[in-house]
Amino acid sequence: MPQDYEQFISNIYQKTGINLALYKEAQMKRRLTSLYQKKGYSSFKEFFQALDKDKQLMNEFLDRMTINVSEFYRNAKRWEVLDQSIIPELLSKNTTLKTWSAACSTGEEPFTLSMVLSKHMPLSKIQILATDIDENVLAKAKRGVYSERSLNEAPKEMVKKFFQQDGSYYTVGDEIKKTVTFKKQNLLADHYGGPFDLIVCRNVLIYFTEEAKESIYQKFSAALRPGGILFVGSTEQIFNPGTYNFETADTFFYRKK
Ligand SMILES: C[S@@+](CC[C@H](N)C(=O)[O-])C[C@H]1O[C@@H](n2cnc3c(N)ncnc32)[C@H](O)[C@@H]1O
């Protein structure tokens, strides 16, 4: 029933400010249908009535709609390009860098960025804003405790240098934690600060509709200073960078003109 989902979209928007219409429909509907069926509801209408009263269920819904998987040094070769070519380029123009990890999930991405930046500047000079729409992942990010699996791609010397190991768990050291400020932010609705030297936004735009994606690229472009870089995920190539006043700096890196 298409109207059932449309009404749900409108109810969720009124209650949370999250606009599900900007997420790819088939995928989102499938994820949410399987959740409500598992919970014993038979329509989006019934599901919303329950969500409206039950905070725990609302949290489960938010957890299901935001796909939170992440890992340190995800697609490690791209982080090498950042380390060896992009950061030196940015630092040739500015000695401090204003950076933003947008849709940072449980923190692996901003902490990776901090470790990579630490090879180029003192930790005391690193400032990373890290944002996500989901408060649960932000709480986990602030704790900074990870399983061994999430560190598979991280260089051994970095793990040794910046983590405390406790059995099979690894905690990010305070010196790295201090470089990152976590904040709740909805990329589809909230204000973007700036101007930034580097915006890292990976593995989230794939969930959005084309129109939503285009509007986010425009806003990223406006939030970058000229010469600033947008670093996207490894399935998220921008096919027409010029439209957003970007030029390709390397694969999956775009420079604001
Ligand atoms: C798959 S994770 C990506 C994490 C990390 N960037 C990476 O590449 O490993 C996607 C994240 O996007 C967040 N997200 C989804 N919709 C969002 C929105 N409208 N605004 C901000 N973050 C959003 C989710 O909460 C989730 O943590």
227-243 pLDDT tens trace: 999 999 998 999 999 99
Q: Report pLDDT for 34.
A: 95
pLDDT tens column, 191-216: 999 999 999 999 999 999 999 999 99
What is the chain's Cα-based Rg? Answer: 19
pLDDT confidence of residue 66: 87
| Ligand 1 within 6 A of CB of 91 | no
- Quick check: CB of 69 below 6 Å from ligand 1? yes
CB of 203 within 6 A of ligand 1: the answer is yes
Strand arrangement of the beta sheet that strand 253-256 belongs to = 180-184, 127-132, 98-102, 196-201, 224-232, 253-256, 246-250
Q: How far is CA 177 from the centre of its chain?
A: 17
Determine if the pTM surpasses 0.75.
yes
Residue to mutate, 73, 133, 209, ligand 1, most ligand atoms under 8 Å from C-beta: 133
Q: Smallest Cα–Cα separation from 24: which of 213, 170, 193, 174?
A: 213
**C-alpha of residue 93 to centroid of ligand 1, in Å:** 30
pLDDT of residue 2: 77
- Encode pLDDT of 24-76 as tens digits: 999 999 999 999 999 999 999 999 999 999 999 999 999 899 889 999 999 99
Beta pairing class for 169-172 and 145-147? antiparallel
Per-residue pLDDT band at 136 (split at 50, 70, 90): very high
Q: Is 65 in the pocket of ligand 1 (CB under 6 A)?
A: no
| Candidate of 24, 128, 132 to mutate for ligand 1, largest count of ligand atoms within 8 Å of Cβ | 132
Average pLDDT over residues 150-163: 97
